[in-house]
Structure 1
């Protein structure tokens, strides 16, 4: 099973050996990437960890807090990323939502993005289908 990562942002030089890097028009500045596996493209973070969506979230609103957020850490935006803005990434469906705890979380097509605590290496997607409400984000 061949996996290819195409970055949407520049990664530290130490990571270049592990990824086939090509900018994606319109979203180059975002700390997200595209991973292709078996002909399907999935959204991953800049380290290559799978990103997930939660069926119980409303459009633009996270419902995952406390114990849920411990198992499904939200993909949070840093102050630097917020300051840099989305640029053309918004045209590609990427955005930020404001969580109830005041932090900004990345979203795709209005759905908040999360990681899964049991994914321990880049490219894993063991959270896909958990309780039939967690889904790997397909592009």
Structure 2
């Protein structure tokens, strides 16, 4: 009986970890598949960032808000957490910190792609 409970517990734990939601979703656009927030706002990467390090300072974050993580978020798989210039944790995908663009006003907007030659939609 004890073995049965242990097995059921392991099965439940495995199912819960497999069901853990990614912090963003992949959406189909006219430019192909890109990462977006749960509200459908396009996510971007910054060429001047280093792997697992944001180089977007506080002024930069006004135009390119960090894709902040929930308070108790945990990194998993390709998703990691890095510090934003505002001191809060932000999401990174495959080591690339992720941002939204202040000029994107509605889900599906992609106005930030190519800005300054250093901002790109996250794919």
Short-chain TM bin = 0.7 to 0.9
Give the corresponding residue for 2:83: 98
Task: Give TM-score, length-normalised by structure 1.
Answer: 0.70
Report the Cα offset of residue 37 of structure 1: 1.8
Decide whether the 8 Å contact of 2:91 with 2:97 is kept in 1: yes
- Which shifted more, 68-77 or 99-108? 99-108
Give the corresponding residue for 1:118: 103
After superposition, the Cα gap between the structure-2 partners of 1:69 and 1:27, relative to the gap in structure 1 and judged at 3 Å, is farther
Residue deviations 1:20-62, cap 9 Å, x none? Answer: xxxxxx6741231110124721000110000000000011101
Gaps of 5+ in 2: 1-17
After superposition, the Cα gap between the structure-2 partners of 1:66 and 1:100, relative to the gap in structure 1 and judged at 3 Å, is closer
After superposition, the Cα gap between the structure-2 partners of 1:27 and 1:134, relative to the gap in structure 1 and judged at 3 Å, is farther
Report the Cα offset of residue 103 of structure 1: 1.2
Q: Between Structure 1 and Structure 2, how many residues are aligned?
A: 106
Gaps of 5+ in 1: 1-25
Which structure: larger Rg? 2
Give the corresponding residue for 1:130: 115
Report the Cα offset of residue 99 of structure 1: 3.1
Report the Cα offset of residue 94 of structure 1: 1.4
After superposition, the Cα gap between the structure-2 partners of 1:66 and 1:94, relative to the gap in structure 1 and judged at 3 Å, is same
Q: How large is the Cα RMSD of the aligned pairs? A: 1.8
